[in-house]
Structure 1
């Protein structure tokens, strides 16, 4: 469920309804810079009603999904 919501947020943000996203997708592959990442994390925090610690280790969608799942558990 978390992955699907993250994908939905990414597709809306990039305005690409058919954007291919997998757990292994990196921000770089999705052509997201650091500002995009910050904006997306803020949107995800709002969507999941939680706080996500920004970290340089956040490189893939799996990293973000894992943080969100941990935060809402």
Structure 2
């Protein structure tokens, strides 16, 4: 999955708030978000996520108000 810097920042906040959320991030998501690799050529952060982790991260982005289709958010590219 490719994320822009702003989306990765939201992911870091989402996993850091895990203890305070009714629906916490998927298992293993925190470790993968923290270990994301920045690709300078693509100008994005790269993560290898399971479907469950992708859905969980999408939920975190939604909570923050960033959506692929609106609200000024940047698209998420799988």
Tell me which interval the TM-score lies in, with the shorter structure as reference length. Answer: 0.3 to 0.5
Structure with greater helix percent: 1
| Structure exhibiting the larger radius of gyration computed from Cα positions | 2
TM-score under structure 2 normalisation?
0.43
